[in-house]
């Protein structure tokens, strides 16, 4: 695997650390900005809104201007660094809110362009494995990035955590400028070339499966803490360790799935959804048993978010993996994340109890499984058959 792929993974780690870290420093931000914890929580939502809406628009603009992927990624990281610096220097909630939207916009477009570069510099049959390395940065952000920035906040203040992300993003810019290869003698991909891909109904089917899978995971994950404390009976002090175990399982599963995602894309997703739905159902039934709950938490970690390399590999096989295709996929994933969390909360709000998000996760996982049934046994479109390739620079 080229070293550049790991640098792209470090880039994603930096961006997603910024997305997650607000959750770990809410009291500090609430005190510093003079707002309620609820208002500070909206900063996470604003980042996600920027990713869902702004990322595709920025990518379309880049394609219309025919900006190459390497140059586009450098400009995006530059913009991200400036916006994150504004957030680190913010003295009011309004400034912080605008900065969070701006960083979300840049991060979404960075995801798409980074995956496009990744797809271009590795062998077509290794794209799922390479994507696993890049997306591994997202996994590590929750396992390493968020705890580290929370610790820095406690020791040095929340601004130090924001400035750390600025430094990481700037470092990634330098490494990308030096190490991402210059363009090969291949044709640039225009906006028209990219838009043609969206006539492919199988691409939309792949997007739908991705949204349902992520929705199933986050319908449950968003409510793990109250479930584990109020039903399972774990003390609040044990939650960081339990989430650490879950995050470690994500990282392990991501690495294993990445090895086989290119060769067994659909079977991995099918079996992953079967195991996920059964595990969530068992968790709902045995949530009051600590031993069984921890075991199922590990299984859900191994098979849930770990399907990411497979869902990315599927999209890359279904359509040419250009920046717009990948950025829209990122938006779909974030939509699935948000809707899954919301629907999971609806079950609680309507009086069905804290176990209801787990059953919502089961329902979404089953829908995801149904969406894959027409593709069982079918050979995916091979990426080598695409008539054009994306330039890295």
**Is residue 347 within 8 Å of residue 359, measured between CB atoms?**
yes
Instruction: Give the rounded percent of residues in the chain with a pLDDT score beyond 70.
Output: 90
Q: Two tokens at 161?
A: 């955590």
Domains, the chain, in order of start with CATH, read: 3-189 (1.20.1250.20), 195-385 (1.20.1250.20)
Confidence of residue 26 (pLDDT cuts 50, 70, 90): confident
Q: How far apart are CA 183 and CA 234, in angstroms?
A: 54
Could you tell me how far CA 129 lies from the centroid of its own chain? 16
pLDDT per residue over 37-92, tens digit each? 667 767 777 887 787 777 777 777 777 667 777 888 898 999 999 999 999 998 88
Q: Which residues of 366-391 are buried (b: 16+ CB within 10 A; e: fewer)?
A: bbbbebbeebeeeebbebeebeebbb
Phi-psi region of 157 (alpha: psi -120 to 50; beta: other; left: phi over 0): left
* Sign of torsion over alpha carbons 212, 217, 114, 67: positive
Q: How many angstroms separate the Cα of 284 from the Cα of each of 233, 280, 355?
A: 14, 6, 5
Spatial CB neighbours of 223, under 8 Å, sequence gap ≥ 6: 344, 345, 348, 354, 357, 358
As a whole number of Å, the CA-based R_g of the chain is: 20
Q: What is the dihedral of CA 257, 258, 262, 263, to 10 degrees?
A: -40
- Does pLDDT of 301 surpass 70? yes
Residue 186 has pLDDT above 50, yes or no: no
User: Among all chains, which residue has been given the structure tokens 């109904």?
Assistant: 201
185 confidence band (pLDDT: 50, 70, 90)? very low
- Provide the whole-model pTM: 0.73
Q: Distance between CA atoms of 99 and 135, rounded to whole angstroms?
A: 24
Q: What is the DSSP string of 227-294?
A: IIIIIS---GGGHHHHHHHHHHHHHHHHHHHHHHTTTSHHHHHHHHHHHHHHHHHHHHHSTT-HHHHH
pLDDT for the residue 379: 58
Maximum mean pLDDT: which of 3-12, 163-172, 218-227: 163-172
Instruction: Name the least confident of 168-182, 225-239, 323-337, 375-389.
Output: 375-389
Torsion of CA 15, 7, 151, 22, to 10 degrees: 10
pLDDT of 308 reads 83
């Amino acid at each position: 695997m080229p070293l550049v792929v790991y640098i792209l993974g470090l880039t994603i780690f930096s961006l997603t650390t910024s997305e997650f870290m607000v959750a770990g420093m809410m009291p500090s931000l609430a005190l510093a900005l003079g707002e309620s914890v609820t208002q500070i929580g909206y900063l996470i939502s604003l980042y996600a809104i920027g990713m869902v809406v702004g990322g595709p628009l920025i990518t379309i603009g880049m394609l219309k201007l025919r900006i190459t992927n390497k140059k586009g990624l450098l400009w995006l990281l530059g913009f991200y660094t400036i916006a994150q610096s504004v957030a680190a220097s913010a003295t009011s909630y309004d400034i912080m809110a605008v900065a969070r939207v701006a960083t979300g916009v840049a991060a979404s477009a960075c995801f798409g362009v980074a995956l496009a570069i990744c797809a271009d510099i590795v062998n077509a049959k290794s794209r799922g494995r390479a994507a696993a390395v890049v997306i591994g940065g997202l996994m590590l952000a929750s396992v390493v990035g968020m705890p580290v920035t929370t610790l820095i906040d406690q020791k040095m203040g929340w601004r130090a955590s924001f400035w750390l992300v600025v430094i990481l993003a700037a470092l990634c810019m330098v490494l990308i400028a030096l190490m991402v290869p210059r363009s090969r003698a291949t044709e640039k991909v225009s906006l028209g070339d990219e838009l043609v891909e969206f006539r492919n109904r199988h691409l939309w089917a792949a997007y739908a499966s991705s949204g349902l899978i992520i929705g199933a995971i986050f319908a449950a994950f968003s409510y793990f803490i109250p479930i584990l404390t109020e039903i399972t009976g774990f003390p609040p002090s044990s939650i960081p360790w339990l989430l650490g175990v879950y995050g470690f399982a994500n990282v392990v599963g991501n690495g294993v799935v990445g090895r086989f995602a290119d060769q067994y894309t659909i079977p991995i997703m099918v079996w992953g959804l079967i195991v996920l739905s059964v595990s969530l159902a068992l968790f709902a039934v045995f949530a009051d048993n600590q031993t069984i709950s921890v075991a199922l938490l590990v299984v859900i970690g191994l098979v849930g978010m770990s399907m990411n390399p497979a869902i990315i590999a599927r999209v890359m096989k279904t359509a040419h993996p250009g920046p717009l295709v990948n950025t829209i996929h990122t938006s779909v994933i974030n939509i699935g994340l948000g809707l899954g969390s919301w629907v999971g909360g609806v079950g609680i709000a309507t009086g069905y109890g804290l176990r209801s998000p787990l059953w919502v996760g089961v329902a979404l996982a089953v829908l995801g499984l149904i969406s894959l049934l027409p593709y069982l046994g079918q050979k995916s479109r091979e990426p080598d058959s695409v008539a054009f390739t994306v330039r890295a620079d």
